[in-house]
A and B are shown apart, each in its own frame.
Chain A
């Protein structure tokens, strides 16, 4: 059953390296997204973010924005968080808990010099005594899945690289993408190995950035500045070490994909574009399989023919994705923003012709230990 909720306004903060603070980025993005929606600050009565700090979740951001919502959600499940927030906002709106839900994100790892993918952890949390002591890094934990995929299905490094090449081709059409120069499969394979089999160009960029999304009750449709986008389906799931017995090639998307497409009542062939969380090339390959765009194990062959690039049968990450455009640590909100802009036909040179239906899938955490997945199906109204 469709959620009924609408996405009324979006904004992506355009700078990839900035002197502004994470809070300032969120304030500027919130103002621009509300303006995009044709709504005012006083209309906001629900607030969602994973960008808070100090163990207080959204409280510092609410203080900075001087908001007093009647519904607050600080769900933090890594990069999928902001996709999950749209899910939670749609549920809260359906329940009458709020009518205008604001989601914001801002983060500045590039200007702070934080190596998001290769930094280790300290052995602080209970689980770290069995994991961080072995030199785990985000890249390494995704690489574990890539290595197993290669072993199990004969996937090649060139097939993984094809995902990065497709995203870079899209990025070339996005004026604010971090990297825009075309790359080849050889470029990816010749880039330095970070954690085998993942090379530097199999990994997302590290940028500053942020954005905001406004989700509203369907009653508000007529009051909006632009034609809103419908949230046809919203789902989430987790996958973890499962007490020591886990098939690490199956991601949370295997649960969210069938549920989301079923809820929306659409088939894979109806989907015009997909925004697939691309922390690493392997993330995209596994997600496409588990969402059901191709049979399990055939992701390598599915991505290698240019299908994901501009003009392909299933364009993904048309902004350039985390691999080329923007990844400040958690990328989920940009998936939603770009999908909405595509469905409103606002993407200029990178516009997917006649885009009516988009699948958005966020992945958070680490594929090789524990992660979250959140899937939305969005439609032009």
Chain B
């Protein structure tokens, strides 16, 4: 079974800016212009005050593993061939939790508190899905952002 057999997001007008940004390999969160609170997942109103006056802002795409599970048995379409895979809640530096997969790492070496960064899988020409990988150390090929503290 090809990876594309995984369920794909059904994009709606309220989530379109998020997925368009993913296509540019950019992770967006929302911030409320009325009360200043940030939120994830994106939605049509502020989850704190229900104002519809929301701004999109880029996340730095960095965070730590809040919790995870290594899935050894799953009937989830498209994932059966990738067992074991890692499902995780990542806590972004902006303080928001994102449900995701951890990739580019040995499932046996994942730990709570581990620093991670967003990476995008180009699933189709129109669609890229954000997942997270261990934060690259300085000097690693293609890795890291030397400006950001680790």
A residues sitting closer than 8 Å to B (CB atoms) are 115, 118-124, 126-137, 139-141, 143-148, 151, 192-198, 241-246, 248, 368-369
Contacts and interface: CB of A to CB of B under 8 A. Distances in A.
A119 B69 contact: no
A129 B10 contact: yes
Contact of B89 (A126, A144, A192, A194): A144
Contacts of B100: 134
Given A115-B75, A120-B75, A244 B6 contact: no
Pick the 10 closest A-B CB pairs, nearest first.
A120-B76, A129-B9, A243-B47, A244-B96, A123-B7, A143-B69, A135-B79, A148-B67, A244-B40, A243-B39
Given A134-B87, A196-B70, A244 B10 contact: no
B95 interface: yes
B109 interface: no
A122 B77 contact: yes
Interface string B60-72: 0000001111111
Nearest to A147: B67
5 contacts: A133-B129, A134-B101, A135-B76, A144-B87, A147-B112
Interface of B: 6-12, 15, 19, 37-41, 47-48, 66-79, 82, 85, 87-89, 95-101, 112-113, 129, 131
B14 to A, nearest CB: 8
Given A129-B19, A137-B74, A140-B87, 11 more contacts: A120-B79, A121-B7, A123-B8, A133-B7, A151-B67, A151-B113, A195-B69, A197-B69, A243-B39, A244-B96, A248-B66
- The secondary structure that dominates the A interface is mixed
Contact of B96 (A124, A132, A134, A245): A245
Contact of A243 (B40, B89, B131): B40
Given A120-B77, A140-B87, A241-B41, A131 B72 contact: no
A133 B69 contact: no
Contacts of A369: 99
Contacts of B89: 144, 248, 368
